[in-house]
Amino acid sequence: MKKTLSILLAIVMLFALCVTAYAENDDGSITIDNAVTGEKYNAYKIFDLTYDDDNVTYTYTTTGGSDAFLTALSGTASPFNAVKVGTTDVYSITKKTGVTDESVISWLKSHITDVAASNKLAEKTGANNEAKWENVEYGYYYVTSSLGSAVTVNSAKKDVTIKDKNSPVSVTKKQSTTNGSNYTTDEVSASIGDEVFYEVTIVDGEGTNLEVTFTDTMTDGLTNLKNYVLYKNSVDNANKLALTTNYTVESEDDHGFTLKINAATLTSLNKDEKIIARYSARVNSNAVTKASGNNTNTATITYSHQTTTTSVNVTTYKIQIVKDNANGKGVLDGATFRLYDALTGGNEIKIVKDSAGKYHVDTQAATGALIEAGTPVITGLKAGTYYLEEVDSPKGFNKLTERKPVTVSADNIARVNSSVYVNGGVEVQNSAGSSLPTTGGTGTTLLIILGSFAVLTTGVFLVANKRMKKEML
């Protein structure tokens, strides 16, 4: 069952226990307890209250001329009996037999715009958990809030306090690098070209019956893929909300969007039920690396006068490779590299070179470019361990015989002073001379073995030849 009432509760200020203490013209107050900061509260005086000994009487005095509220009050659909008192402009008001309080409130909601402006109290704005009217005449009042539809009365005294039970919607934003699972509020790491998946959960509050505006904003390093899907309570096709029927796309571009979830959809929810929005973005070449900031996605939910903002961050990193001489004689040019996700075999991490000669990851690229030494910087890497393979070594230097592990967990830029490596980054050393593989590789080893065998054979031959000459003498 949706909220307890479809409009804020009318206040009946009865003072039957205090008749002798308060005259008809005494003033009271109405206080909204638990008022939400920034929300608007309005009170309308519907009927006057008068006393006759121990009896309380409600009356309505017409404003004269055309009185839309009196017309409605006297109609067959009215929950009240309105009987004119003699030839005056006053009508005696009683509630019809069998009419429920809910019916009264529903009827008042339908006709509140007919109430004379002079019977509306000054609008109040919630602050410090309170909204209050003072010097209020006794009577039958109807109170509304811009927030929702559930208010209760917890006092029937001269100074009446109303408990605003309304609460705005709440929101949680999560993200994942895996579609449909592992959503978290923590930051995630992704490479340029990767897709990041978002989940925004809007939890219904008490008395919510207004539309929700959902705006999502992405920084330049994220590209909106414009693939929003909304669900009610759980993520399955049976609970998928319908575009136009339940929500509309008000605007969208490459870095964000605005959706409006209509009031009927919010009204259909019970307290603590939820709307789940899923969508994604791709990390692009404008993504900043961790040392420069974050690639941020921000969801802003507006309900009535309440705005809630929540953000999540995607991080990428950069590393610098320094190819240098093992004897400390400086940076070497002429080497090329590729990056992989395994020590052997595995998949190549596709690196592209832009028009400015800079390298960045692009997991969506068809092919990867060779990384040219000496001190290239590669941006757009997610956290993890990679393996650098030397494709070509500088002329006259040995090529690496196996891939070099590279761990990425932060931006890692090298310090190079006068072409000599100092520290930081990923140092890759080469030694001059022929290739002498440390493991595997039979070429050089075979030459050494054959050379040794030749020397040994020659020595044996010389010794044997000398012995034969001695014997012949």
Q: Parse the chain into domains and list their residue ranges.
A: 10-164, 170-314, 317-430
Q: Mean pLDDT in the chain?
A: 85
SS3 call for 331: strand
User: What is the reported pTM?
Assistant: 0.76
Return the structure tokens found at 227. 């693939």
Read off φ and ψ for residue 207, nearest 5 degrees.
Answer: 80, 10
Q: What dotted CATH number matches 317-430?
A: 2.60.40.10
Task: Domain 10-164: give its CATH architecture.
Answer: Sandwich (2.60)
Question: Is residue 150 over pLDDT 60?
Answer: no
Which letter, b or e, does each residue of 30-68 get, where b requires 16 or more Cβ atoms within 10 Å of its Cβ? bbbbbbbeebbbbbbbbbbbebeeeeeebbbbbbeeebe
Q: Which fold has domain 170-314?
A: Immunoglobulin-like (2.60.40)
The share of the chain scoring above pLDDT 90, in percent, equals: 65
Q: Kindly report the number of other CB atoms within 10 A of residue 27's CB atom.
A: 12
10 Å CB burial of residue 254 (0-12, 13-18, 19+) is: middle
10 Å CB burial of residue 208 (0-12, 13-18, 19+) is: buried
Name the DSSP letter for residue 237: G
pLDDT of amino acid 63: 78
Cα separation of 146 and 304, whole Å? 6
42-91 pLDDT tens trace: 889 899 887 666 677 889 999 778 899 999 999 999 999 999 999 999 99
Residue with the two structure tokens 């209509």: 262
192-204 pLDDT tens trace: 999 999 999 999 9
Q: What is the mean pLDDT of residues 15-21?
A: 25
pLDDT of amino acid 318: 97
Q: Which amino acid is at 340?
A: Y
Cα separation of 113 and 90, whole Å? 21
In the chain, what is the straight-line distance between the N-terminal and C-terminal CA atoms, in Å?
126
Let me know if the fold of 170-314 is the same as that of 317-430: yes
Do residues 307 and 314 lie in contact, with contact meaning Cβ atoms separated by under 8 Å?
no
The share of the chain scoring above pLDDT 70, in percent, equals: 83
Do residues 347 and 300 lie in contact, with contact meaning Cβ atoms separated by under 8 Å?
no
